[in-house]
Amino acid sequence: MFGLVLLAGAACGPQPGGGTADSEAIVKTEPAKPPSDRGDQVVTGGDLAFMNDAAPGGMAEVALGRLALKQAASPEVKQFAEQVIADHSKAGEELKQLAQQKQVMLPQAVNPTHQEAMDKLSRLSGATFDRAYVKAMVENHMKDVTAFESVAKGAVDADVKAFAVKTLPTLRVHLEEIRGIAAAMGGKATP
């Protein structure tokens, strides 16, 4: 690419008659940045929808994890919640950096569906909370894995795709772990 620019510049160099093809100087205001994908820095369509869904979803997972640390009875549920908080917080920060790079404004709060689930769970405690939380985590992580698999395979933006590919294994581990906890509780929390 750079070689083509040099060739094009040479072709537009001094012309017979003493001038150049374009007599105005080209002024660059900032250094060139190499594109991180196929040259398209604008995230649109399904990739943008994915980012806008993943951000509040991750925030909800962290908030529910914090709630589980306060209200769960099971040490396994609390341990799972700690891991979810750590992993989803890290992924959330990575998504924020990607959004900043792509000039995407992510939602700053959980969506109403997540808020409703958090409100319901906040009224529970002990074993009742554990069952409801585990059921919610199985459902959420099944949806997450499906969404991230889809983007990992079909995203247009290479950076969005890379984020999904990088995050997907962690989500699969979460799903496997929470299904194990659900099975140990008698399987009633597994859809």
Per-residue pLDDT of 116-159, as tens digits, reads 999 999 999 999 999 999 999 999 999 999 999 999 999 999 99
- Which pTM was predicted? 0.76
The pLDDT of residue 41 is above 90: no
Polymer length in residues for the chain: 191
Mean pLDDT across the chain, nearest whole number?
84
Give mean pLDDT, residues 80-101.
97
The reply to whether 50 falls in a domain is yes
DSSP code for 79: H
pLDDT tens across 64-78, in order?
999 999 999 999 999
Predicted pLDDT of residue 169: 98
Residue 97: other Cβ atoms inside 10 A: 11
- pLDDT bracket for residue 20 (50, 70, 90): very low
Integer Cα distance of 26 and 4 in angstroms: 17
The reply to whether 176 falls in a domain is yes
Between these two residues, 124 and 40, which has the higher pLDDT value? 124
Predicted pLDDT of residue 118: 95
Query: Smallest Cα–Cα separation from 78: which of 94, 64, 96, 89?
Result: 64
How much of the chain exceeds pLDDT 70, in percent? 76
Predicted pLDDT of residue 182: 96
The reply to whether 5 falls in a domain is no
Integer Cα distance of 124 and 86 in angstroms: 23
- H or E element at residue 53: helix 45-71
Give mean pLDDT, residues 12-19.
48
DSSP code for 187: S
Domain count, the chain: 1
Report the helix count and the strand count for the chain, using DSSP H and E: 6, 0
The answer to whether 24 and 84 have CB atoms below 8 angstroms apart is no
The reply to whether 3 falls in a domain is no
The first and second tokens of residue 55, run together, are 């951000």
The pLDDT of residue 35 is above 50: no
Predicted pLDDT of residue 36: 45
- Write out the residue range of the structural domain in which residue 170 sits: 45-184
| Burial readout 43-63 (b: 16 or more C-beta within 10 A, e: otherwise) | beeebbebbbbbbbbbbbbbb
The reply to whether 89 falls in a domain is yes
The pLDDT of residue 164 is above 50: yes
Give mean pLDDT, residues 18-46.
53
The pLDDT of residue 7 is above 80: no
The reply to whether 20 falls in a domain is no
The reply to whether 4 falls in a domain is no
The reply to whether 155 falls in a domain is yes
Predicted pLDDT of residue 43: 87
- pLDDT bracket for residue 1 (50, 70, 90): very low
* CATH code, 158: 1.20.1260.10
